[in-house]
Chains A and B, each alone.
Chain A
Amino acid sequence: MSDTKIKQIAPEEAAVFTADHCLSCTSCMSSCPVMEATKEYRGPKLVGPAHSRMHFSQEDEEDSLDFCSNCKSCDRACPSGVAVSTLNMLQRGEYYKTHAHSQRDEMLAHGEKMGKLVHSLPLGATCANIGMRIGKALGIFGLFGLAVERDMPSYAASTFKSLYKNISQKKSDKKVVFFPGCFINDNEPSVGEAMVKVMQVNGYEVLLDDKFCCCGSPMVVTGYIDEAKEHADRNVERILYWKNQGVPVVAACTSCSLMLKKEYEELFNEAKMKQAAANVYDLFEFLDILADKGELNTNFQSVSAKLTYHVPCHLKAQGFGVPAASILRDVPGVTVELADAGCCGMSGNYGFKGDKYDISMKIGEKLFSRIKEQAADSVICDCGTCRLQIRHGTQAKACHPVEILAKAY
């Protein structure tokens, strides 16, 4: 029998070194939604992990790398802890250090800038939304390489940040800082309003920090890796500031929270990123922890809602389960059924790319038909771009689970 006194634990390693753990077993290939939808993508293990051994040989690029959507299904499938998609994103970043970006990618990576511009003009959102409709009608989207079949997400009349100023909150010693992310701020501020309401009912005061910037996820997936690093540095500095104040940071978009909690560290491998990550929570993760401590306000009013829950890939990759389902199931009148149909295909800005639209929709087919089968009152999903895809693919209503929870208080 073995000696059980000494437990040998391999030291934690930077994501780039995890390529060495790949056993080439194909688990990632079985679970990759992009491979299922197209024969153009060679598959996760054959890109990041396999190439990590071959880069020495010559200057070259993997054409099919462009097809990886960074949905992270491969990371979840891997039995060996290989950060497959992160290796792919690092390789993509490397590629764009010597290659020019398209105008489309410039646009998709910088939604934050566009949002700021639009909302700085009087009637900017209205004009921009009209402009986008005209742009789509005139075929300008297509010229840019955007998916002509899709509407660009329309801008809300007011950003969350401006709406926030008008919310009167009960002061509290218990505070969180909200990291709204671009999509909630510019396009769906109602999610932010619901979040504030829910936190207030639970005794928390919600702060905003103007110094936060876009988490960088859209940049990483389009290969603006250096710019993403600048964003990471800025955000990490603020997160650490709040950490020192004893105030946690909460995000309600799972791609933002995954970026802050996990991807910064995987991509850039700095100690401060790990320290900062410990102070960041996904919204329902935070509520789940309250629930675990018996501190969640469960004084729910009845809400009549039959819900289908599409759990975003980037939430699954955070490894805390699906607490929104169990929390909402405690609300009288609410039923929650998991769609359990894999990736929606949108994966951030992937589905907006003209040449990826068909792949994106093909990936989403399973989810779309499941949603139609379940015929719920609404689909809930913690990720903004997944919600866009669900509306686009099914015409169903889709909202953030916190919007349902807010109705219960």
Chain B
Amino acid sequence: MRKARVVVIGGGATGVGILRDLSMRGVDALLVEKCDLVNGASSRYHGLLHSGGRYAVKDQEAAKECIIENQILRKIGKSCVEPTGGMFVRLDIDDPEYETAWVKGCADSGIEAKQISLDEAFAMEPLLSRHAVSAYLVPDAAIDGFRMSWQNVESAKRYGGRCLTYREAVGVLTENGKVTGVTLRNNITGDEETVECEMLVNAAGGWAGKVAKLAGLDVGVQPDKGTLLAFNQRLTSHVVNRLHKSSDGDIFVPHGSITILGTSSMSIPDPEDTSTSREEVENLLAIGEKTFEHLRDCRMLRSFAGSRPLYIPPGGEVGRSASRGFAIVDHKNDGLDGMMTIVGGKFTTYRLMAEKIVDQICAKFKVTTPCRTAEEPLVPEVAPEKKQAARQYFPAYGTDLAATRLGPERFDKVVERLEKDPESRELVCECENVTLAEVEEMAAEFSSFQINDIRRRTRIGMGTCQGNFCALRSAGVFAKYGKTPGAKDTLGRMKEFLQGRWKGIRPVLVGRTLRETEMTRALYELSFHVNGGEA
């Protein structure tokens, strides 16, 4: 039977942050996640590392936390953070008084907001609406949620931390008012197992209420759906925020090769509901096109949604005005010793949240090792000379991206493959520049159960063609290298992968997206006859 001193439930940013912090302080910990990592809000958001500017008027506590954590994450997570800088832009239709309040709020929160001339703003962001009337630079950045989470896990592993994906907590074992273990179901095989533990940390985000119920507890979590749009190109070079009272489609984040526009806010009953509707898409476009007037002529790749876990204390508010702060609940007070829930908060402050709850756990365990998650980088960087030497094997513009995705150990392995086998230099994904060697390496990982798992680690299928070409190729590679039972069901894996793409494409099935989809179907449904049937 597996044992761990602490079992963390939920592989979002908070969960992986807790796993890392516990492991670094020498507490034996296991993280379990019912899907792949960051299946909830930690990847289904706009990938913005807040400077705090967004909260400078409404919630200065949050703003202060953001700017501090922002600076920490830039330092420890160099390969997940792209320091794009941020720009706040007020349009002629926006309230000038809000600008005044915002400037003061930034100053009060310790956020450096530097006003620039409109000429400078237009030079930096050529597509920006000429209705802009004032612009400020702030230290916003883009952050990759997939990568950040895996790197937390990898960091934890170096300290003995463990992580199991596709394991869902389905029962909490207690004895005399104390947690003794947790029952897990393997969501690939359906098998169940019990893990013995002293402490359960419920970091299940939108699902925290559901997990608490396993132990008969009640936690007030309101899943709040945020819908976002991904565009095919970088429309901006900075994170561009509208300088007005926060609304839906008013933040553009240049995220690698694409741009993410978000985010709406809508209370929903079920955190699993990541569907998006045409109406939500229309809303985002209608607001977004105020900042970038050509928006509707830019190719949308897809829409996606995630649910923020808003903590609702009794009598609290719901929606955008609800607190973005976080709460730690020790269920000892509810009569169950050894279970804690952490809920709420935001991606930018995940590390701080982890630190706070781990402080409390360590106090219980009488562990005095201080938190060092703010000092030590998540993963060592790939040495520049290694990158330089490997450039000959990677496609143009591909080496640095591969190095940041892979980290030093895997990078070495991939480079070795590329060196030995020139054929592995082929591009499986030509839109995002992913080599066969990298896909092979990831296909063979313990955590790759579906092509989608490989996708999140490599970015295959996330670019222009949304899987039209790489679906076949990755199914071929996965069947060859995949170690999981389903890897050989090539048609099933391929359809599952394309279906995953379809889910996001469907709500934006208009304009140029329609063109791409007609091609997808002609290739797979018509030419490849993936629906099967008699012939």
Taking a contact as CB atoms closer than 8 A, the residue among A25, A56, A61, A80 that contacts B396 in the complex is: A61
Q: Are B256 and A56 in contact (CB under 8 A)?
A: yes
Q: Are B233 and A46 in contact (CB under 8 A)?
A: no
Q: Provide the residues of chain B in CB contact with A80, threshold 8 Å.
A: 515
Q: Are A13 and B464 in contact (CB under 8 A)?
A: no
| B261 interface residue per 8 A CB criterion | no
Q: Provide the residues of chain B in CB contact with A55, threshold 8 Å.
A: 397
Q: Are B431 and A53 in contact (CB under 8 A)?
A: yes
Given known pairs A10-B297, A51-B396, A60-B399, the reply for A46 and B519 (CB within 8 Å) is no
Q: Are B463 and A53 in contact (CB under 8 A)?
A: yes
Complex interface bits, A41-54 against B, C-beta within 8 A gives 1, otherwise 0 = 00001100011111
Q: Are A46 and B297 in contact (CB under 8 A)?
A: no
| A98 interface residue per 8 A CB criterion | no
Query: In residues 52-89 of chain A, which contact B (Cβ within 8 Å)?
Result: 52-58, 60-63, 80
Identify whether the interface residues of B are mostly helix, strand, loop, or mixed.
loop
Q: Are A56 and B257 in contact (CB under 8 A)?
A: yes
Give the distance in Å from the alpha carbon of A57 to the alpha carbon of B465 in the complex. Answer: 20
Chain B minimum-CB-distance residue to A56: B234
Query: In residues 237-258 of chain B, which contact A (Cβ within 8 Å)?
Result: 237, 254, 256-258
| A20 interface residue per 8 A CB criterion | yes
Chain A minimum-CB-distance residue to B511: A10
Q: Are B396 and A52 in contact (CB under 8 A)?
A: no
Chain B minimum-CB-distance residue to A91: B396
Q: Provide the residues of chain A in CB contact with B401, threshold 8 Å.
A: 54, 57-58
| B450 interface residue per 8 A CB criterion | no
- Cβ of A80 to closest chain B Cβ, rounded Å: 7
Give the residue among B258, B299, B399 with the most A Cβ atoms within 10 A.
B299
Q: Provide the residues of chain B in CB contact with A57, threshold 8 Å.
A: 256-257, 397-398, 400-401
Q: Provide the residues of chain B in CB contact with A46, threshold 8 Å.
A: 427, 430
Q: Are B299 and A20 in contact (CB under 8 A)?
A: yes
Q: Are A58 and B464 in contact (CB under 8 A)?
A: no
Q: Are A23 and B397 in contact (CB under 8 A)?
A: no
Give the distance in Å from the alpha carbon of A58 to the alpha carbon of B401 in the complex. Answer: 8
Q: Are A54 and B433 in contact (CB under 8 A)?
A: yes
- Cβ of A27 to closest chain B Cβ, rounded Å: 11
Q: Are B516 and A58 in contact (CB under 8 A)?
A: no
| B341 interface residue per 8 A CB criterion | no
Query: In residues 1-55 of chain A, which contact B (Cβ within 8 Å)?
Result: 10-11, 13, 19-25, 45-46, 50-55
Chain A minimum-CB-distance residue to B294: A11
Chain A minimum-CB-distance residue to B399: A58
Chain B minimum-CB-distance residue to A49: B464
Give the distance in Å from the alpha carbon of A21 to the alpha carbon of B233 in the complex. Answer: 10
- Cβ of A169 to closest chain B Cβ, rounded Å: 48
Q: Are B232 and A53 in contact (CB under 8 A)?
A: yes
Q: Are A22 and B396 in contact (CB under 8 A)?
A: no
Taking a contact as CB atoms closer than 8 A, the residue among B234, B433, B464 that contacts A23 in the complex is: B464
Chain A minimum-CB-distance residue to B403: A58
Chain B minimum-CB-distance residue to A65: B396
- Cβ of B286 to closest chain A Cβ, rounded Å: 16
- Cβ of B158 to closest chain A Cβ, rounded Å: 27
Q: Provide the residues of chain A in CB contact with B400, threshold 8 Å.
A: 57-58
| B298 interface residue per 8 A CB criterion | yes
Q: Provide the residues of chain B in CB contact with A13, threshold 8 Å.
A: 297
Complex interface bits, B368-405 against A, C-beta within 8 A gives 1, otherwise 0 = 00000000000000000000000100001111110000
Q: Provide the residues of chain B in CB contact with A54, threshold 8 Å.
A: 257, 396-398, 401, 433
Q: Provide the residues of chain A in CB contact with B256, threshold 8 Å.
A: 56-57
- Cβ of B383 to closest chain A Cβ, rounded Å: 15
Complex interface bits, B457-497 against A, C-beta within 8 A gives 1, otherwise 0 = 00000011100110000000000000000000000000000
- Cβ of A352 to closest chain B Cβ, rounded Å: 26
Q: Are A24 and B397 in contact (CB under 8 A)?
A: no
A-side interface residues toward B, CB under 8 Å?
Answer: 10-11, 13, 19-25, 45-46, 50-58, 60-63, 80
Q: Can you report 12 residue pairs joining A to B where beta carbons are below 8 Å apart?
A: A11-B297, A20-B233, A20-B299, A24-B468, A50-B431, A52-B233, A53-B431, A54-B401, A58-B399, A58-B400, A62-B396, A80-B515
List 5 extra interface pairs beyond A20-B512, A23-B512, A53-B464, CB under 8 A. Answer: A24-B430, A50-B430, A54-B398, A60-B396, A80-B515
| Closest 6 pairs between A and B when the two form their complex, measured CB to CB | A54-B397, A62-B396, A53-B257, A58-B400, A24-B465, A60-B397
